């Protein structure tokens, strides 16, 4: 079992956009798009003792994933990008940093506005 923070994103591009911002060890898991309950449970089972966060796109796919997480992991905190950017991977890192900072993640100083 793992401990600490676990951030669930949709894809590898989202993970690569967020990773450099973080100034702490955070497990970042990718759903690789819309997944079912069984796959989600398999993905998150080793991380059930972690503090769960989601950071999905501001679109229909992201809404479906948030709803799935709400049903099966209601303790997860949802982070959201601004509708202007729609996707995590296209959101500027400084904007992502502010969203992560508000959720009490430690970020590198160079990303603070």
Give CA–CA dist 80/98, Å, rounded.
11
| pLDDT confidence of residue 3 | 78
| CB 24, CB 5: distance < 8 Å | yes
At 107, is the secondary structure helix, strand, or coil? strand
Dihedral (Cα; 70, 74, 77, 80), 10-degree rounding:
10
What domains, with CATH codes, occur in the chain? 3-106 (3.40.1360.10)
Consecutive 10-residue runs of the chain (113 residues): their mean pLDDT?
A: 89 97 97 87 93 95 94 96 94 97 96 84
| pLDDT confidence of residue 101 | 96
Does the predicted model carry a pTM greater than 0.95? no
Q: Which residues contact 71 (CB under 8 A, 6 or more apart)?
A: none
| pLDDT confidence of residue 1 | 64
| CB 6, CB 26: distance < 8 Å | yes
């Amino acid at each position: 079992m793992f401990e600490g923070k676990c951030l669930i994103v949709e894809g590898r591009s989202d993970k690569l956009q967020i990773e450099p911002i973080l100034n702490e060890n955070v497990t970042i898991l990718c759903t690789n798009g819309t997944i079912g309950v069984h796959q989600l449970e398999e993905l998150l089972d080793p991380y059930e003792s972690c503090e769960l966060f989601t950071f999905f796109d501001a679109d229909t796919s992201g809404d479906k994933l948030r709803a799935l997480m709400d049903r099966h992991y209601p303790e997860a905190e949802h982070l959201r990008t601004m509708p202007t950017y729609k996707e995590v991977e296209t959101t500027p890192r400084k904007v992502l940093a502010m969203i992560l900072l508000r959720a009490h993640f430690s970020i590198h100083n160079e990303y603070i506005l």
